Amino acid sequence: MTETKPAPTLLGAGVDRVDGLSKVRGEAPFPSDVTYPRLAHAALVRSTIAAGRISRITTRAAEEAPGVLAVITHQNMPRLERGPATLIGPSPVSPLQDDQVFHHGQYVAVVVAESLQQASAAAELVDVEYEVAAGVFDLDDPRGELRVDPWGSGARRGDVEGALASAEVTFEASYSTAANTNNPIGLFTTVAAWEGDTLTLHDSTQWTANVRTTIAALFGLPEESVRVHAPFLGGGFGAGLRVWPHAVIAAVAAQVTGRPVKLELTRPQMFTGIGYRPATEQTVRLGALRTGQLVALQHHATIAIGIVDENPEPVTLISQSAYACPNVDVRDDERRLNIPPPGPLRAPGAAQGTFALESALDELSYKLGMDPLELRLRNYAEVDAHSGLPWSSNALRDCYAVGAERFGWAQRNPEVGSMREDSWQIGYGVASLSYHWWQVRCEARATIGRDGTAFVRSAANDIGTGTRTVMTQLSAELLGLGLSDVRFDLGDSTMPWSPAAGGSGLTTSLGVAVDDACRSLRGKFLELAVQGPGSPLAGCSSDDVVVSGGRLHRKDDPGVGESYAEVLARHGLDELSADGLGAPPDPAQTGLALSPPFAAKFAEVRIDADLGILRVARLLTVVDAGRILNEKLARSQIVGGTIGGIGQALFEETSFDPGTGRIANATFGDYLIPVSADVGDVDVAFVGQPDPLTPVGTKGVGELGLPGTAAAIANAVYHATGRRLRSLPIAIEQLY
Amino acid sequence: MAPTPGFEYVRPSSVEDAVATVSGDPTAAYLAGGTTQLDLVLKDRVISPQRLVDITRLPLRGVTRTSDGLQVAAMTTMEELAADPTVTRELPLVREALLSGASTQLRNMATIGGNLLQRTRCRYFRDPTVAACNKRDPGSGCAAVTGHARMHAILGASEHCIASHASDLCVALVALDAVAHLQSMGGLSHVPLTEFYRVPGDRPDRETVLEHGELVTAIGIPLLPPGTRSSYLKVRDRASYEFALTSAAAALVVEHDVIRFARLALGGVGTVPWRAYEAEGILVGAPVSEGAFRAAAEAAVNDPFTVSGTEFKVELAKRTVVRVLQTVARNAS
């Protein structure tokens, strides 16, 4: 018997994006590129008050303006129910349903015209009068309704108060994080076109299937009558996980005018219409032994929420299982404010919660006189405290060790304010993190045709993360084909059902479905290959046959076999297809906790204390995300998340005007995100092993770069200066 | 009432033609003042001229060395001026101010005249849904004084207006006693930049001494005495591409550790580019010392008007002044 060498793996390698060239050439169709014959354009009118009601709305001048086809307000808008709840929470409230105003920037009318310019000009002619009520804008304003643990996500184990009372060392502090806006570069766009009772939508979404389900429900249509295209998205960061009001308005506008309608949000509208990370106030109480062992951990958060919308934002979830601690109490409360409805923004909840938890751990380490990294090691959680089950995989200790070595943690002088270079004070900080990703049911379909190439697809979305690319790699590997012989397509609601590109869950959910589809397809070919007259593999059992280089051949004699194309030809088939289903593993059967990805984050900051100038010199993230399908793309995710974390730490704050609730900085000139000069040396390393719970072995990487960045930076600032900053973003006025 | 959309676009063939066109039509405006003018007309809908007069093709480009300085035609770009040999050699404060502004891409397009006449970035001015703005609508009040005012001015400010002048370049130029060359129907005139901008008082809508139709055609930049050292320091949150929270331009001649000549101006804190004459008086004749620099800084940030959100700028501006003076003095000795 001859030993065959294993085929070189397509996975893990830094394969270039399969759609990179089409993007660079401007050929990739983003939603804002879509056009139709007789396309009409819509422009939105937004409320200029934050609370009250519309007392009069006059549309005549707008209706009479050149090119105007329709003006829709709450007075002539079709009545719509609220969209159905989804896997990630309730739908947004349907727009233009009554005269009530709950936030500044709420849509109060839409103008549809022949051109965008005509629509925008006429939108300014819509005259709205309001009865203004007092708005509530501050998280600590008791006039805003406080919802205690509205999602029932609070959790307790042990006796926190008792443990705090008897702890050798205790610590308590409050932290706050500002609202941050997603700010994808691509302006969210919906193009809606009706043909009889069928509706086609081209939409900026991270979840094609959800747009179809939601729109079908709102318009009382069977799901097959709604087709959603979302092959490309110019960034989402969570903003595309819900069907926001503008998409509904576009569909109504197309229905009312009988014309295809394009509705592209403006940059200021991107601040009020597609969600954003809500502000939080948090309190952390810790109790520990002198050895550093945690005996009590309490983490409570109050999170901003709109008046009528819902937004599950699991801020304290991370504190349930981050550390081994017998007595834990976490709770997320919400306060309703007259603010635009918040929504997911990269690492929702964890972005804010990790800042508080990891800052508090750092503070405790100084109180104990212990190296902050050592404190985390001593509280390493051997099991998932949430389920009590052992982790399916956890290389967090490797993250610490590899990170400390690579970063040069040993060069850190533990004394606060001791490290200097010229006028710069230098500090090192560390944070530990994980992200509660999710795996859900997902479907895919794989086909091989007469030309011997494969077509694999799912209704999933590639939001710029590289889903197309890694699924092409995975399919090619499983089918024994070269990358150029596999086409993976997505973003079309007629394809098999997929969950959202969000929550760090898609690569695993979809990967398992693709794995299943490709294995099934391979199995079908194997069955056919050994059958029929003229089969070179006749008499082989399917165990004797393997697939590589587009051929099915004998394991022990690669020369004996035939190609996919030959199998199809011999059986007179045009193509062969197989469906794949990915379902999450059941902890009751596996006895293992579905492990999150883990990481350690190290930061070096430099501070000119006289002028309050803070620069982040270095950031290192060491990641255990299970199997890495494409190191180049995974690294890019972590780097991008880290830069988002720099933004959260130093710059980003969505500011609401006191009294009016207007967003005071809804432009890129006023809302600061990091520029290249703000991003120093950003380093990434991967550790760990494939997670055993799925055949693909992946854990999510999408969110993981962001949480912990702000904590590592704030912890480094303390080490450099002795200033403990508990409020984000860290601004110059806090530093000098 | 919303501005009426739609306007006539005119491209005159000469400076005289341009000046005559705008001077003869109260509803006309130059398409000038940097990209901000286009923003204000088309995007933010703050102003609504009926006729936009495009001057970008007029022959107003280039830097000329004269007997006592530089003459910079108004359409010279920021990058061109920054690369000028005289600026590079003798006017580091101008070069540093230019290069700390905007981004390379913008500086390759943005002109010196446009930089002088850029409008404030105050978001209360730039959003017509905000009712109270004395600059946009005289007598309506100022929403910024009770709003998010971190980027706003503390010098030359009052409850009428706290909008800051955003230019870095102009801070260096007022320190140098640069002169604006103005073309009107009556001919050419010259106005020192220190008198070009109006401190708002109770009329924030009147920003400069320009009469309707007057066109800035050039800037004259006098050279500094031999042996002068100079620098521009900009303090901001981001490392690049952000307006100043505070900034300072300084030029010193130091002989035997005594300051013989001093120029100082502040940015990010003024409603206009802020020349600090009193501070200069304190510096001249004083020894190079922390004490003299601090005294100058105290004088430079005299009688600030602060609101919630701008208080921190008082001390930060002083420290900015001290730091830039330290830097220049170190280079000078």
Threshold 0.90, pTM exceeds: yes
Residue A228 CA to residue A520 CA, distance in Å, equals 28
Classify each residue of B85-123 as buried b or exposed e, where b means 16 or more C-beta atoms within 10 Å of its C-beta: eebeebbbbbbbbbbbbbeeeebeebbbbbbbbbbbbbb
Q: Average pLDDT in the A397-407 region?
A: 98
What confidence score (pLDDT) does residue A421 get?
94
Q: How many domains does the structure of chain A reveal?
A: 3
Q: Average pLDDT in the A562-577 region?
A: 97
CATH class for the domain made up of B229-332? alpha beta
More confident residue, A438 or A22: A22
For residue A623, being part of any structural domain is answered with: yes
Query: In which band, very low, low, confident or very high, does the pLDDT at B38 lie, cut at 50, 70 and 90?
Result: confident
Query: In which band, very low, low, confident or very high, does the pLDDT at A587 lie, cut at 50, 70 and 90?
Result: confident
Do A551 and A594 fall within a single domain? no
Do A268 and A310 fall within a single domain? no
pLDDT in tens, A192-247: 999 999 999 999 999 999 999 999 999 999 999 999 999 999 999 999 999 999 99
Residue A570 CA to residue A96 CA, distance in Å, equals 61
Do A247 and A322 fall within a single domain? no
Do A228 and A374 fall within a single domain? no
Nearest to A655 among B129, B148, B312 (CB): B148
Name the amino acid, one letter, at B14.
Answer: S
Q: Where are chain B's structural domains?
A: 229-332
What confidence score (pLDDT) does residue A539 get?
86
Q: How many CB atoms lie within 10 A of CB A235?
A: 17
Q: Which residues of A touch B306 (CB under 8 A)?
A: none
pLDDT at B34 over 80: no
Cβ contact (<8 Å) for B129 and A674? no
Cβ contact (<8 Å) for A736 and B143? no
pLDDT in tens, A591-606: 999 999 999 999 999 9
What confidence score (pLDDT) does residue B333 get?
65
Residue A20 CA to residue B117 CA, distance in Å, equals 42
What confidence score (pLDDT) does residue B3 get?
41
pLDDT in tens, A237-249: 999 999 999 999 9
CATH number of the domain at A621, please: 3.30.365.10
What are the backbone angles phi and psi of residue A500, rounded to the nearest 5°?
-70, 155
What confidence score (pLDDT) does residue B5 get?
57
pLDDT at B4 over 80: no
Do A56 and A115 fall within a single domain? yes
For residue A165, being part of any structural domain is answered with: no
Residue B100 CA to residue B96 CA, distance in Å, equals 6
Domain that holds residue A232: 34-133+199-272
Do A342 and A448 fall within a single domain? no
Do A460 and A537 fall within a single domain? yes
Do A222 and A287 fall within a single domain? no
Nearest to B323 among A611, A657, A677 (CB): A611
Cβ contact (<8 Å) for B319 and A736? yes
Domain boundary among A540, A561, A584: A584
Q: Which residues of A touch B45 (CB under 8 A)?
A: 124
What confidence score (pLDDT) does residue A5 get?
43
For residue A181, being part of any structural domain is answered with: no
Q: Which residues of A touch B122 (CB under 8 A)?
A: none
Q: Which residues fall within 8 angstroms of residue A62, CB to CB, at 6 or more apart? A: A68, A71, A109, A111, A122, A123, A125, A126
Residues of A serving a catalytic function are 703
Residue A373 CA to residue A358 CA, distance in Å, equals 11
Residue A199 CA to residue A215 CA, distance in Å, equals 9
Residue from A662, A673, A676 to probe the interface with B (highest B Cβ count within 10 Å): A662
pLDDT in tens, A232-281: 999 999 999 999 999 999 999 999 999 999 999 999 999 999 999 999 99
For residue A166, being part of any structural domain is answered with: no
Torsion of CA A645, A650, A654, A655, to 10 degrees: 160
Do A388 and A467 fall within a single domain? no
More confident residue, B88 or A539: B88
What confidence score (pLDDT) does residue B35 get?
65
Do A577 and A672 fall within a single domain? no
Cβ contact (<8 Å) for B239 and A736? no
For residue A164, being part of any structural domain is answered with: no
Smallest CA–CA distance from B245 into chain A, residue? A732
Whether A282 and A353 have beta carbons less than 8 Å apart is answered as yes
What are the backbone angles phi and psi of residue A267, rounded to the nearest 5°?
-60, -45
What confidence score (pLDDT) does residue A64 get?
98
What confidence score (pLDDT) does residue B1 get?
34
Residue (of A3, A437, A494, A10) closest to A231 by Cα position: A494
Query: In which band, very low, low, confident or very high, does the pLDDT at A14 lie, cut at 50, 70 and 90?
Result: confident
The reply to whether ipTM tops 0.90 is yes
Alpha helices in chain B (DSSP H): 15-23, 35-38, 78-83, 85-90, 92-99, 104-107, 112-116, 169-175, 193-196, 277-283, 290-300, 312-332
pLDDT at B332 over 90: no
What confidence score (pLDDT) does residue A9 get?
64
Cβ contact (<8 Å) for A124 and B2? yes
Give the pair of three-digit tokens for residue A369.
């006189």
Q: Average pLDDT in the A290-294 region?
A: 98
Domain boundary among A552, A584, A616: A584
Q: Which residues of A touch B323 (CB under 8 A)?
A: 610-611
Query: In which band, very low, low, confident or very high, does the pLDDT at A1 lie, cut at 50, 70 and 90?
Result: very low
Q: Average pLDDT in the A368-397 region?
A: 96
Domain boundary among A584, A607, A635: A584
CB pairs under 8 A between A and B: 73
For residue A153, being part of any structural domain is answered with: no
Q: What percentage of residues in chain B have a pLDDT greater than 90?
A: 91
Cβ contact (<8 Å) for B319 and A610? yes
Whether A239 and A342 have beta carbons less than 8 Å apart is answered as no
Do A387 and A494 fall within a single domain? no
